[in-house]
Amino acid sequence: MMQSSTPAAKRRIGLSRLSDAGKYILLLILAMIFVGPFYWLFSTALKTIADLAAFPPQFWPAHLDWGNFLQAFTIVNFAAYAANSFILATTYSILITLSSALVGFGFARLKGKGKRPLFLIMLSTLMLPQIITIIPTYVIFARLGLIDTYWPWVLWGLGSSPFLSFLFRQFFSTIPPELEEAAILDGCGYGRIFWRIFLPVSVPVIVTSLIISFTGVWGDYITPQLFLSQQNTTLAVAMSVGYTDPHGNPLTNVIAAGSIFYILPVLIIFFFAQRYFVNGIVTTGMKG
Amino acid sequence: MDALTSPKITEAPGGIHQKAVTRRKHWSRYSSKTFYLFISPWIIGALALTLIPLVYALIVSFTNFDGISTHWHFIGLANYLEILKDGNTWYSLSRTLLYCVITVPISVAAGLGLAILLNQRLIAVGFFRTIFYLPSVVPIVATAIMWKLIFDRDAGALNAILAPFGAPAITWLVDPYVFYVLIILTLWGLGGGMIISLAGLQGIPSELREAASIDGANAWQVFRNVTLPLLSPVLFFEVITGMIGALQTFIQPLLLAETNGATSVGSVPFSNYLYMVNVYGQFFANQRFGYGSAMLWILFIIILAITLLVFRSSAFWVYYEVDRDE
């Protein structure tokens, strides 16, 4: 709290006038609303089939059925789908981080004719509705026989992402030019400058980029749904249709259990990495 | 005035001056090629994965291509005319605009409100920030499952809460309620915008607010005349990106539909029949690739037009402190 010598400055402004306790209560209520769905998911995952049919639904099941979590792995080939998701997400995130770093570096440090208009064009594609290209891309890839393979992700990864390139570019712009000038005088080509100097200092941005792209593919539903067959598809798609009993009725409790496993990696990544993340947005995006 | 052409060199014998100039010219030629080399992933990627599909969709929109057969022909503007005459087009467009007009302002405003709350000096602010932000990173499939569960007739939390008050088991996942389920599901993810607003808020020096307050402004006036204008670029960004996203929504309505699985476009309740759901159905249920492509291009133009409008309006309400000339 900024202390100033003049009494007027000590007057609390705006929300500061509400008592701290009031703010905490408000935060707690809001937090409960936001966390509510997670809680309900968890309690449903622990319910037996009988509990599911009971009305009104209990807030906490009388008998905890941990077996649902086991079933989540067995009814649907969870491990296989998870592996697919993991392979796709890792491949894509590594490729796109690398390609976006290259592009970002080019815009940040190199000179070229038409650099400014090209940069503006790249930024404007950020506003391009992604949906507009995905269905035509599907048609084109179908004619090229790339459907039901992992090649689309490789190609997308190599093509760089305007958003991530922008992120890298903003970050690289903050690095003092003396570093690269010294290297040039030593005879270094820009390839080496990029690889040996700029990349190592941009670890936070690299981590941010990897996380964003990894969780993006992990959670992506529409692309694997379109581009992959039911066998080769990712967890995202398998989760939405998998868990049914022999009659075809959805097993709500197992669906809930499976969902928990599905989102757990994302939650863990975010809990640990949110420091990088929020700082990344603050320092590279919003200030001048 | 850079070092290579500084006045000092003119004193030296002509030979050295020549070398300095040549080195500079050589350098700039070198880096232009290098520049293009470095950004080649984007150029190739943008061409192949963005421009070509766009143009392809444009061409197909003038045909009656059905996705598989080889006998198709150009039918000129027939698709576009049919789209304009089809009641479904206008209906789905109106649902989408309604969805956009409801979710975007509420998301931005509520996100800002939460950001203000989190900008206070309280303990565990980081903990609450994580809680509010987390829903926006949860995979879409899981979000749909969670909210479908809450609004489920038999096992849902909402009916569990209402039951003690004597309410019967209401089926929420049908018209007209399911539209509100969609909206609530969307708003649950407003944490993403909140983080951006928070970053913007923290960029405003508190001395400005205190100075205004010393001059006699009350809390609301400080907010309206100091905080809000300085935040307007950030809010503008959120509105634009929020709108563009909202107008393209179609996965959530599909996931909320009665039967599991995305091919069940037909089971999407009418109140959730958004424009892109319509498009998706044209492609994969009706096999009308030409028609669907035309619908895509129309959506593209609509998004461009609305974005342009908002950009124009920004002159009236967005305040830039520094004219960024970068």
Tell me the shortest Cα–Cα distance from B94 to chain A, in angstroms: 18
Question: What's the confidence (pLDDT) of residue B3?
Answer: 41
Selected residue with higher pLDDT from A50 and A11: A50
Note whether A27 contacts B303, CB cutoff 8 Å. no
Scored b (16 or more CB within 10 A) or e, B134-145 reads bbbbbbbbbbbb
Strand partners, A244: A250
A103: chain B residues, CB-CB within 8 Å: 38-39, 41-42
How is domain A78-236+265-286 classified at the architecture level of CATH? Orthogonal Bundle (1.10)
| Residue type (1 letter), A75 | I
3-state secondary structure of B90: helix
Residue of B nearest to A132 (CA): B296
CB B46 within 8 A of CB A133: no
Whether residues A136 and B54 touch (CB distance < 8 A) is answered with yes
Question: B36 or A12, which is more confident?
Answer: B36
Distances (CA, A) of B75 to A103, B62, B80, B294: 41, 6, 10, 12
- What are the pLDDT digits (tens) for A43-64? 888 888 887 777 778 888 888 8
- By CB atoms closer than 10 A (0-12, 13-18, 19+), residue A66 is exposed
Tell me which chain A residues have a C-beta less than 8 angstroms from the C-beta of B139: 215, 218-221, 236, 262-263, 266
Contacts of A285 in chain B (CB under 8 A): 196, 199
Q: Are the CB atoms for B105 and B96 separated by under 8 Å? A: no
Q: Identify whether the C-beta of residue A78 lies closer than 8 Å to the C-beta of residue A199.
A: no
Q: Residues 108..147 of A with a Cβ closer than 8 Å to B: which? A: 110-113, 115, 118, 122, 125, 127-133, 135-137, 139-140
Nearest chain A Cα to B187, which residue?
Answer: A34
Q: Which of A2, A81, A88, A132 to mutate to test the interface with B (most CBs of B within 10 A)?
A: A132
Q: In Å, how far is B131's CA from the nearest CA of chain A? A: 6
Report long-range pairs for B120-129 (Cβ below 8 Å, ≥24 apart). B120/A15, B120/A16, B120/A23, B121/A1, B122/A20, B122/A23, B122/A24, B122/A27, B128/A27, B128/A30, B128/A31, B129/A278, B129/B195, B129/B198
CB distance B175 to B269 below 8 Å: yes
Sign of CA dihedral A187, A190, A195, A198: positive
Does residue A48 belong to the interface with chain B, where contact is any CB pair within 8 Å?
Answer: no
At A7, the pLDDT band (50, 70, 90 cuts) reads very low
> Tens digit of pLDDT for each residue in A132-174?
788 888 888 888 888 888 999 999 999 988 989 988 888 888 8
Residues of A in Cβ contact (< 8 Å) with B169: 55-56
- Sign of the torsion formed by the C-alpha atoms of B58, B62, B67 and B71: negative
Contacts of B149 in chain A (CB under 8 A): 37, 40-41, 44, 252, 256
By C-alpha distance, which of B272, B137, B269 is closest to B193?
B137
The number of CA neighbours under 13 Å toward the Cβ of A220 is 26
Question: What are A226's two structure tokens?
Answer: 């379109």
CB contact under 8 A, B300 and A129: yes
- Cross-chain Cβ contact B247/A129 below 8 Å: yes
Q: Using the beta-carbon criterion (under 8 Å), do A23 and B122 form an inter-chain contact?
A: yes
Two tokens at B102?
């409801």
- For residue A44, the chain B residue with the least C-alpha distance is B155
CB contact under 8 A, B149 and A40: yes
- A20–chain B nearest CA distance, Å: 8
Q: Which of B226, B221, B232 is nearest to B205 (CA)?
A: B226
pLDDT value of position A6: 45
Residues of A in contact with B294 (CB under 8 A): none
Of B31, B139, B219, the CB nearest to A110: B31
Contact A178, A62 (CB under 8 A): no
Break chain A into its structural domains and give their ranges.
Answer: 21-65, 78-236+265-286
CATH for B86-317 is 1.10.3720.10
User: Using one digit for the tens of pLDDT, what is the confidence trace for A176-208?
Assistant: 888 888 888 888 888 888 888 888 888 888 988
Task: Look up the ipTM and state it.
Answer: 0.80
A33: nearest CA partner in chain B: B188
Mean pLDDT (10-residue bins), chain B, 326 residues: 40 48 50 84 89 89 81 86 91 94 96 90 82 90 90 85 82 87 94 88 83 83 85 88 90 78 69 89 86 90 89 82 49
The nearest alpha carbon in chain A to B325 belongs to: A288
Residue corresponding to tokens 């930024």? A123
Gap between the Cα atoms of A260 and B153, Å rounded: 21
pLDDT of residue A282: 56
With 0-12 / 13-18 / 19 or more C-beta atoms within 10 angstroms meaning exposed / middle / buried, residue B213 is buried
A36-A41-A45-A48 Cα dihedral, nearest 10 degrees: 70
A24–B122 CB contact, under 8 Å: yes
Kindly report the nearest CA distance between residue A219 and chain B, in angstroms: 4
Q: What share of chain A is helix, strand, coil (3-state, %, to 5)?
A: 75, 0, 25
Q: Looking at residue A111, what is its pLDDT?
A: 85
- Tell me: the pLDDT tens digits for A210-236? 988 999 999 998 889 889 888 788 888
Pick from B67, B140, B155: CB nearest A219: B140
**Helix boundaries (H) for chain B:** 7-11, 14-38, 40-46, 52-60, 78-85, 87-118, 125-133, 140-150, 157-162, 177-187, 191-202, 206-214, 219-222, 228-247, 251-256, 275-284, 289-317
End-to-end CA separation in angstroms for chain B:
20
Report yes or no: A253 and A44 within 8 Å, Cβ to Cβ. yes
- Residue A170 sits at the vertex; the CA angle it makes with A137 and B105, to the nearest 5 degrees, is 65
Residue B178 C-alpha, separation from nearest chain A C-alpha, in angstroms: 17
**CA–CA min distance A18, chain B (Å):** 11
Residue B301 amino acid letter: I
Q: What value does the mean pLDDT of chain A take?
A: 82
CA B262 to the chain's CA centroid: 22
Residue of B nearest to A97 (CA): B41
What's the CA gap between B8 and B16, in Å, rounded?
Answer: 11
Note whether B145 contacts A41, CB cutoff 8 Å.
yes
Supply B313's token pair.
């309006």
Q: Which residues in chain B are closer than 8 Å to A8, comparing Cβ atoms?
A: 213-214
Amino acid at residue number A180: E
CB contact under 8 A, A14 and B222: yes
Inter-chain contacts counted by CB atoms under 8 A, chains A and B? 288
- Rounded distance, CA B232 to CA B308, Å? 17
pLDDT of amino acid A8? 44
What integer pLDDT is reported at residue A34 of this predicted model? 94
- Extents of the domains making up chain B: 86-317
Pick from A9, A236, A241: CB nearest B261: A241
Q: Say which of B31, B45, B214 has its CB closest to residue A112.
A: B31
| Closest in B134, B296, B322 to A288, CB measured | B322
